[in-house]
A and B are shown apart, each in its own frame.
Chain A
Amino acid sequence: MKMGIPIPNSKLGLWLFLGTEIMFFTAFIGSYIVLRLGSTGWPTDPHDTHINVLAGGLNTFVLIVSSYLVVVAHEAMAQKNFAKARTYLLGTLLLAFVFLGIKSVEYYGKFSNDILPGHIAETSSQAVKKASRELEIVVRNRFAAYTDSGAVKTDRPNDIVNLIVQIAALPTAAAPEGVSEATFNALKESAPVDAELYSKWMNLHQHIVANVSLKFPATGPEYLATREGLKAGEKMPELEYEEVTALLKDLKSNEKYGSYVMSGVFDPHPVVYGNIFASIYFLMTGFHAIHVIVGMILFYAVLKQGSKLNESWTDFVENSGLYWHFVDLVWIFLFPLLYII
């Protein structure tokens, strides 16, 4: 009398594992669906999300081809044609690399637009403050060259509000002890540029704090005088998002410090629900990519056998194929949910 299910234990074990994996991914996909339904204004414009449908479609095609190759490899194993099986499995492994390559290009596109969870401004005022913070970091990084080299002596290297005085005075100063002439001369040349950049940042920062339009002064006697001139109930014109984007455009095109601003400040681009979108995108595609890497390890384990591959590996190849088809299945659902809908 035959007992049990008519499949090898390894196949049953793998199917049970795939059952848990289905629950693993449907937890994320189900949460995504529910969160999205509850978020009016979810970003779908590719200018906001930087989602490339063609890259996603190409990745889908790559995985489908690799699924086809792995199923042919399994057939070859059943027919005891091990050379053919190795060839097709190698093809599958190479296509997995192609998939990860396209995914890396997509991820690079996201990183270079600062589309990361927790990094995305969701309103215009958040975008303005973020741009100011990034500009401050650019200024701090430029100032670090002066304090690290010892050209400017200070026991508070982070106090840029006081450091600027010394940096602005550098062109007329003498090289301190321990600083080479060449280093000091280079810093003397860059000091006026960095001082100008600092003043641009400080001006923006003060206008943000006071919430005053860039057309009006935000501090000092002129600000107080403008405030005095207001009629009852009248307010100072507020800082506008468009003014700040225009200012940043000017800063980036400046020939002296434009390159520093370009490399350190992202274009302000508020995206409502952008952070939860980024979180879900990286979570789902990241876990999928980890599963792809695990599949690649399985294929490598078979290919490592080389010409020693024999029929005792048939079940392993079948099970690796089943796992790979599951990875393909997950992507079949991720692609429309993330890229199209």
Chain B
Amino acid sequence: MSYDSPARQDVHEDFDDHGAHHVNYLLIFGVLCVCTALSVIFDVIHINKALTIVLVLAIAVTKALSVMMFFMHLKFEGNWKYVLLAPTTILAIGLPLALYPDVGASYYTQTAPQVTIWADEIRADQARHAEHAETADHAVPGHVE
């Protein structure tokens, strides 16, 4: 094979021929559809919030891996994919981890206006419900103090 003046086709033949790796794309498509349906079902049925988050993110990761490994053929590519994706993955995980202690975590009582006003409104609501409950109690005949 000459490298002096490669024709477009020659150059292409030197590279890995992904056609040789037989992938059942329809099966992967089916898996993706099932995963999507499951995501929607987990949202519609009322289960524990934390469990929903874990399940739905696990499904998202499964779908992402299916697309990356099979549709994008990363399963059949060389080790260069790790060199390329490692920095991006480190940054992708590192950024939220770095910001979380300052922006995401709260160490003291939150005093943002949204939270204080929201807390006030919840307290007022609870006071109103307590008032109604008291009035309802007093209205019950034969109620003994």
Query: Which residues in A have some Cβ–Cβ distance to B below 8 Å?
Result: 2, 5-8, 12, 15-16, 19-20, 22-23, 26-27, 30-31, 33-35, 37-41, 53-54, 57, 60-61, 64-65, 67-68, 71-72, 75, 78-79, 122-124, 272-273, 311-312, 314-315, 321-322, 325-326, 328-329, 332-333, 335-336, 339-341
Question: Nearest chain A CB to B80's CB is how many angstroms away?
Answer: 5
Tell me whether B40 and A53 are in contact (CB under 8 A): yes
Tell me whether A314 and B12 are in contact (CB under 8 A): yes
**16 A-B residue pairings within 8 Å (CB atoms):** A30-B95, A31-B99, A38-B106, A40-B115, A57-B36, A64-B32, A64-B36, A67-B67, A75-B19, A75-B25, A122-B114, A273-B114, A325-B71, A329-B68, A340-B43, A341-B52
* Choice from B37, B43, B121 contacting A124 with Cβ under 8 Å: B121
Question: What interface size band does chain B fall in?
Answer: 35 or more
Q: Is B77 an interface residue (CB 8 A)?
A: yes
Tell me whether B71 and A53 are in contact (CB under 8 A): no
A322 to B88, CA, bound (A): 17
Question: Nearest chain B CB to A24's CB is how many angstroms away?
Answer: 10
Residues of A within 8 A of B84 (CB): 15-16, 19
A130 to B40, CA, bound (A): 35
Tell me whether A72 and B57 are in contact (CB under 8 A): no
Residues of A within 8 A of B25 (CB): 68, 71-72, 75
Query: Which residues in B have some Cβ–Cβ distance to A below 8 Å?
Result: 8-9, 11-12, 14-19, 25-26, 28-29, 32-33, 36-37, 39-40, 42-44, 52-53, 56-57, 59-60, 63-64, 67-68, 71-72, 77-78, 80-81, 84-85, 87-88, 91-92, 95-96, 99-100, 103-106, 110, 113-115, 117-118, 121
Tell me whether A340 and B42 are in contact (CB under 8 A): yes
Tell me whether A7 and B16 are in contact (CB under 8 A): yes
Residues of A within 8 A of B57 (CB): 336, 341
Tell me whether A64 and B12 are in contact (CB under 8 A): no
Tell me whether B105 and A123 are in contact (CB under 8 A): no
Tell me whether B103 and A34 are in contact (CB under 8 A): yes
Tell me whether A71 and B92 are in contact (CB under 8 A): no
Residues of A within 8 A of B88 (CB): 19-20, 22-23, 26
A122 to B120, CA, bound (A): 13
A336 to B8, CA, bound (A): 43
A75 to B18, CA, bound (A): 9
Residues of A within 8 A of B39 (CB): 57, 60, 335-336, 340
Tell me whether B43 and A339 are in contact (CB under 8 A): yes
Tell me whether A67 and B71 are in contact (CB under 8 A): yes
Known: A68-B28, A71-B25. 17 other contacts (CB 8 A): A26-B91, A33-B104, A34-B96, A38-B106, A40-B110, A53-B44, A54-B40, A57-B40, A64-B36, A75-B25, A124-B121, A272-B115, A312-B8, A325-B68, A325-B72, A340-B39, A341-B53
A23 to B63, CA, bound (A): 19
Tell me whether B105 and A19 are in contact (CB under 8 A): no
Interface centre among B16, B26, B71, B117 (most CB of A within 10 A): B71
Whose C-beta in chain A lies nearest to the C-beta of B114? A272
A199 to B113, CA, bound (A): 33
Whose C-beta in chain A lies nearest to the C-beta of B11? A8
Tell me whether B67 and A325 are in contact (CB under 8 A): yes
Tell me whether B67 and A19 are in contact (CB under 8 A): no
Given A19-B85, A54-B40; A336-B59 close (CB under 8 Å):
yes
Residues of B within 8 A of A20 (CB): 88
Given A272-B118, A340-B39; A65-B106 close (CB under 8 Å):
no
Tell me whether B80 and A71 are in contact (CB under 8 A): no
Question: Nearest chain B CB to A329's CB is how many angstroms away?
Answer: 5
A75 to B23, CA, bound (A): 10
Closest 4 CB pairs of A and B: A37-B104, A26-B92, A30-B96, A30-B95
* Choice from A12, A38, A341 contacting B103 with Cβ under 8 Å: A38
Residues of B within 8 A of A79 (CB): 19
Tell me whether B64 and A329 are in contact (CB under 8 A): yes
* Choice from B68, B78, B100 contacting A37 with Cβ under 8 Å: B100
Tell me whether A65 and B29 are in contact (CB under 8 A): yes
Given A27-B95, A68-B25; A41-B115 close (CB under 8 Å):
yes
A339 to B57, CA, bound (A): 12
Tell me whether A332 and B60 are in contact (CB under 8 A): yes
Residues of B within 8 A of A124 (CB): 121
Whose C-beta in chain B lies nearest to the C-beta of A315? B12
* Choice from A8, A33, A72, A311 contacting B15 with Cβ under 8 Å: A8
Whose C-beta in chain B lies nearest to the C-beta of A335? B39
